[in-house]
Amino acid sequence: MSENKNEKIDEVKNITESSDVLLDVKNLQVSFDTYGGEVKAVRGVSFTLDRGETLAVVGESGCGKSVTAQSIMQLIPMPPGKIKSGEVWLDGRDLLKYSDKEMEKVRGKEISMIFQDPMTSLNPTMKVGKQIMEALIKHQNMSKSQAKEKAVEMLKLVGLPNPERRVEQYAHEYSGGMRQRAMIAIALSCNPKLLIADEPTTALDVTIQAQIMELMADLQKKLDTAIILITHDLGVVADVAKKIAVMYAGVIIEYGTYRDIFYNPKHPYTWGLLLSVPRLDVNKDLRLIPIEGTPPDLISPPKGCPFASRCEHAMKICKEKMPEEIKVDSVESEDHFARCWLYNDLAPSVNNPVTERRARLNE
Amino acid sequence: MADMKLKKEDFEVVGKDLKSSEEIIRKSLTYWQDAWMRLKANRVALFALIIIIIMLGMAVFAPMMTEYSYDQQMYDRISQTPNSENWFGTDELGRDLFARVWQGARTSLFVAFVATIINVSIGVIYGGISGYFGGKTDIVMMRIIEIIYSIPRLLWVILLLVVMKPGIKPIIIAIAITGWGGMARVVRGQVLQLKQMEFVLAAKTLGADTTRILLKHLIPNTMGPIIINLTFQVPTAVFTEAFLSYLGLGIPAPAASWGSLAQSGTKMILLYPHMLLFPAAMISIFMLAFNLLGDGLRDALDPRLRA
Amino acid sequence: MNETLISVRNLKKYFNVRGGKTLKAVDDISFDIHKGETLGLVGESGCGKSTAGRTIVRLYEATGGDIIYKDMNINNLNKKQLKDYTRHAQMIFQDPYASLNPRMTVTDIVGEGIDIHNLYKGMERQKRIYEILELVGLSREHANRFPHEFSGGQRQRIGVARALAIEPDFIVADEPISALDVSIQAQVVNLLKDLQDELNLTYLFIAHDLSMVKHLSDRVAVMYLGSIMELTESKELYDNPLHPYTKALMSAVPIPDPDVSRAKQRIILKGDVPSPIDVPAGCKFQGRCPLVEDICRVEKPELRQVIPGHEVACHMVKKP
């Protein structure tokens, strides 16, 4: 995480040092040119992902979480978008140096993506089975009949009843939940090393959302695929994520294991996210504590901490200087970072409202 | 990571500053300002707009720039090629072509704009009503358009000339009768889509009546497509007028329009090509400019491209 | 508290769809809304909750049944009476992007109701608009801007301001927070709560998010395929859900606490919500219900009181 300064690590060293690292994103910066000016959507994001691990990227709309994911896949429309700097190492290869042609071999085969809206991400004029077969024929050199067999198998794997009949159907004959299952089947058909799921359950009803999340957790155990789960809802990731990165205004403001983020969060924004949602399982009628105000317009991001204007603990320095990532204590003694001036030695000490609330609820 | 230069004072708590967080940094731009910015950035469309303005200006002022009038015959200067006296030359009756081309522009453009205004007014109201009420009203109104459209434009003119004297009037009426349907369809489609939008439902819940919903909510949000359609109607009308005059169904002599000038120029094409060249060039340049502007406007006004 | 403000009796709203079929979006529902309370209406997409809300504010004409506001049956009002009714019953919409006219300034959006009902003119009108904007946490600097310049949460507050401008006493909030970010949802929910206390408003709060509904509502009605399955106080609903659908819905709600969430036994329903066009005879939930028995396929269960203040529509729930 703190490798920002020595960005130039050569390829070989990268592979030998940590062979269980699948993806290593370094200082990614992405901007979009608009009529109003340059929108700095991602402003220096770095993280690593181990094989078979699930990382949740949590943040509000416009925080840059989807743009980060699309940059890894090189799906940013350019122009108006441009990747200003950064490296995306997948298994020791920098994907940002890849041409479009080379990326085509990576997409679908090594990295797959599923999107929020299963209706628009399936081709309405092509049978669902055929859409699964396409990738298999392209990336795995399968024959048509082999691919079809595999397509049926994939649909069965994602829990669609009657897979033999379903492969012959079109997307509009599927319900919302079934479409998302079909998308997952397409995404996983070539055994990718990494699956990026961009708000996969946001458009679905709660009962269907529960089905899909269970399916994803299930499949991960079976297939050992690493997952980046992008969402705005911390509740959704509580069950499945191992690591969580909280993004705000184009930067990761806190990163840690799920236990650190839920039980020992350090950044005031993470506190806000946790305190602003009601809990179905808690009967004490607590007033929600919203995060007041609005995130900054990334056309001219503040020079200091982007959360400062909404933070009750904001100090003079917060408005002046962007805080560096700083290592903070972890419940599981793993990496836990926060970008916050409160953890500077000179800062006043502040009570953690999340642990306080937990203590109160446990009474 | 602690920076040694930091002082204790830097860590004085100042708290939230919600006012600055709610502040909107971007400059306030209305829909039209925003569209204008986009159009300005499109050089081709801007160039086309300038050409159109110049041509309109010439149609108004050019006849005052020359000493010759469009119907004045000079028997000593029959069929002259362009020269310093007669900039576009003269025709076979010794009339100054520069004066006639710009007089013709007046007629052609007058026909085009009047017909377009009629088309837009009828089309917007008709399409708005059809789309807003929907159901049976919509079906009946759309069938009427199809019936009108099933009679070719040329036939309308010929039928009109049976009861009217040839001239500007039957041409305008013919273009108007057969032109508003397209606009009505565009508006209807937009209204059908917009009336389901929540802001229209909100106005209904506030107790707004039909007139208010149409005028305040539906039509203003259809303005983009209306203007785009309009910029494509004007050149079509110019062309229709030229086409009818060329067939001899248009403006009778000595009045001039681009179509009638082209028609008389064709007779002399082998001997004096300039007689056809100038009016034909005007028609082409004007139509091209309007089409390019229309394309630019479509890009500028399309809400899907708004950031 | 128990004075009834709106009484919905056997409300039906059917739509004709292609093929001469009928879509029974709202199929015979009855409930009361008490003055000053919040009644939550939850259910998955397509269950008819939004249609019910829209029929109650008369955006749709009911196919059958009565809606009684105070002493007026609003299904048989003339044009003028209907306009008067709109002053009392207002609506907040789901999509903060689609619910504000992009060509109008905030002043005109908030002032629209004032203009329609001729409440204030000139300077008075402007003053009133500023007052309402401040009430919902916006400032007068925002008044001359256009909707596209605001964030989702700010837009939703403009929508709230528009509804409040004509001083209604009843508001249908149709999924007002589901399009917003989590941290912004709390802002809007708190705002709705504060406004209720301040202005003595009555809400019909329509949502699919059970935890938010529980947080905000006094009583909750659970809808499935156009029918109400369970209706009771929100605390009771959580402590003692009776209908198998409510139980499944509850257990599917994500809990932002990994230890609790990972330990929880979820009831995961099989399949999807069936289409409301060809509804089976008998109980509408039979196809997905884990407790289904023969009677459920034949006879439609009526909503009946099992415990005082707790109504449920299920054959399998016995009186204690």
Q: Which residues of C touch A288 (CB under 8 A)?
A: 186, 189-190, 215
This complex has an ipTM of 0.87
Interface probe with B: pick from C55, C61, C112, most Cβ of B within 10 Å:
C112
Nearest CA in chain A to C254: A235
Nearest CA in chain C to A280: C211
Report the distance separating Cα A134 and Cα B224, nearest Å. 40
Q: Which residues of B touch C78 (CB under 8 A)?
A: none
Q: Which residues of C touch A214 (CB under 8 A)?
A: 266, 268
Of B23, B198, B216, the CB nearest to C93: B198
Strand, coil or helix: C98? coil
Q: Tell if the CB–CB gap between B11 and A297 is shorter than 8 Å.
A: no
Given this model, what pLDDT does residue A282 score? 73
Nearest CA in chain C to B30: C146
Q: Tell if the CB–CB gap between B202 and C159 is shorter than 8 Å.
A: yes
Of A34, A309, A324, the CB nearest to B21: A309
Nearest CA in chain A to B39: A35
Residue with tokens 């699964």: A132
Confidence (pTM):
0.82
Interface probe with A: pick from C141, C182, C251, most Cβ of A within 10 Å:
C182
* Chain segment A69-107, per-residue pLDDT in tens: 989 888 888 778 888 888 999 888 888 888 888 888 888
Domains and CATH numbers, chain B: 54-74+86-305 (1.10.3720.10)
Phi, psi for residue A205 in degrees, rounded to 5: -70, 160
Q: Tell if the CB–CB gap between C162 and B206 is shorter than 8 Å.
A: yes
Of A206, A214, A239, the CB nearest to C262: A239
Of B9, B22, B26, the CB nearest to A36: B26
Given this model, what pLDDT does residue A4 score? 45
Report the distance separating Cα C145 and Cα C102, nearest Å. 10
Average pLDDT, stretch B220-249?
A: 85
Q: What percent of chain A has pLDDT over 90?
A: 15
DSSP string, B146-213: HHHHTS-HHHHHHHHHHHS-SSHHHHHHHHHHHHHHHHHHHHHHHHHHHTTSHHHHHHHHTT--HHHI
A16 falls in which pLDDT band (50, 70, 90)? very low
Q: Which residues of C touch A209 (CB under 8 A)?
A: 252, 254
What is the separation of C-alpha A34 from the centre of its chain, rounded to a whole number of angstroms? 25
Nearest CA in chain B to A308: B16
Name the range with the highest mean pLDDT among A205-209, B67-71, B169-173, C196-200: C196-200
Q: Which residues of C touch A175 (CB under 8 A)?
A: 272-273
Q: What percent of chain B has pLDDT over 70?
A: 93
Interface probe with C: pick from A206, A211, A258, A361, most Cβ of C within 10 Å:
A206
Distance from C252 to chain A by nearest Cα, in Å?
5
Given this model, what pLDDT does residue B202 score? 92
Of A294, A312, A346, the CB nearest to B21: A294
Distance from A309 to chain B by nearest Cα, in Å?
5
Q: Tell if the CB–CB gap between C149 and B30 is shorter than 8 Å.
A: no
Q: Which residues of A touch C273 (CB under 8 A)?
A: 175, 205
H and E: helices and strands count for chain C: 11, 12
Angle of CA points A314, A319, A320, to nearest 5°: 135
Q: Which residues of C touch B215 (CB under 8 A)?
A: none
Tokens representing residue B198 in the block: 């929540």
What is the average pLDDT score of chain A?
84
DSSP string, A9-56: --HHHHHHH-TTEEEEEEEEEEEEEETTEEEEEEEEEEEEEETT-EEE
Given this model, what pLDDT does residue A290 score? 84
Q: Which residues of B touch A315 (CB under 8 A)?
A: 10-14
Distance from B220 to chain C by nearest Cα, in Å?
7
Q: Which of B87-91, B127-131, B195-199, C92-96 has the lowest mean pLDDT?
A: B87-91
Q: Tell if the CB–CB gap between B6 and A344 is shorter than 8 Å.
A: yes
Q: Which residues of B touch C86 (CB under 8 A)?
A: 205-207
Nearest CA in chain A to B25: A297
Strand, coil or helix: C310? strand
What is the average pLDDT score of chain B?
84
Of A300, A315, A346, the CB nearest to B13: A315
Write the Ramachandran bin of C167: left for phi over 0, alpha for psi from -120 to 50, otherwise beta. left
DSSP 8-class letter at B215: I
Q: Which residues of A touch C257 (CB under 8 A)?
A: 238, 262, 279, 281
Asked if the C-beta of B4 comes within 8 angstroms of chain A's C-beta atoms, the answer is no
Of B29, B197, B205, the CB nearest to C91: B205
Residue with tokens 């995130």: A295
Given this model, what pLDDT does residue A11 score? 44
Average pLDDT, stretch A226-230?
A: 92
Given this model, what pLDDT does residue C218 score? 92
> Measuring CA to CA, which residue among A297, B306, B232 is closest to residue C103?
B306
* Cβ atoms of B301 and B224 closer than 8 Å: yes
Kindly tell me if the per-residue pLDDT of B49 is higher than 90: yes
Q: Tell if the CB–CB gap between C83 and B207 is shorter than 8 Å.
A: yes
Bridge-based pairing of strands C304-307 and A194-198 is: unpaired
Q: Tell if the CB–CB gap between B203 and C104 is shorter than 8 Å.
A: no
Interacting residues of B307 by C-beta distance below 8 A, sequence separation 6+:
A32, A34, A35, A36, A80
Q: Which residues of B touch A35 (CB under 8 A)?
A: 34, 37-38, 41, 307
* Chain segment B237-269, per-residue pLDDT in tens: 888 888 888 887 777 777 788 888 888 888 878
pLDDT digits (tens), chain C, 320 positions: 578 999 999 999 999 888 788 888 999 999 999 999 999 999 888 888 999 999 999 999 899 999 999 888 888 888 888 888 999 999 999 888 889 998 899 999 999 999 999 888 889 999 999 999 999 988 888 888 888 888 888 899 999 999 999 999 999 999 998 888 887 888 889 899 999 999 999 999 999 888 888 889 999 999 999 999 999 998 899 889 999 999 988 888 888 888 888 888 788 777 777 777 878 788 988 888 888 888 888 888 989 999 998 999 999 887 65
Kindly tell me if the per-residue pLDDT of A161 is higher than 60: yes
> Measuring CA to CA, which residue among B16, B4, B15 is closest to residue A348?
B15
Given this model, what pLDDT does residue B60 score? 86
Q: Which residues of B touch C53 (CB under 8 A)?
A: none
Q: Tell if the CB–CB gap between A346 and B38 is shorter than 8 Å.
A: no
* Chain segment A281-321, per-residue pLDDT in tens: 776 667 788 888 888 888 888 888 999 888 888 888 888 88
Of B11, B20, B34, the CB nearest to A348: B11
**Per-domain residue ranges for chain C?**
4-239
Report the distance separating Cα A202 and Cα A36, nearest Å. 30
Q: Which residues of C touch B216 (CB under 8 A)?
A: 101, 104, 112
B126 falls in which pLDDT band (50, 70, 90)? very high
Counting as contact any 3 or more CB pairs under 8 A, the partners of C are A, B
Sign of the CA dihedral A86, A88, A92, A97?
A: negative
Average pLDDT, stretch B169-191?
A: 88
Q: Which residues of C touch A289 (CB under 8 A)?
A: 186
Report the distance separating Cα C301 and Cα C170, nearest Å. 31
Q: Tell if the CB–CB gap between B220 and C103 is shorter than 8 Å.
A: yes
Given this model, what pLDDT does residue A217 score? 82
Asked if the C-beta of C178 comes within 8 angstroms of chain A's C-beta atoms, the answer is no
Phi, psi for residue A237 in degrees, rounded to 5: -90, -10
Name the range with the highest mean pLDDT among A28-32, B17-21, B299-303: A28-32
Asked if the C-beta of C214 comes within 8 angstroms of chain A's C-beta atoms, the answer is yes
Domain C4-239 matching CATH 3.40.50.300: the answer reads: yes
Phi, psi for residue C139 in degrees, rounded to 5: -120, 170
Q: Tell if the CB–CB gap between A325 and B1 is shorter than 8 Å.
A: yes
Q: What percent of chain A has pLDDT over 70?
A: 93
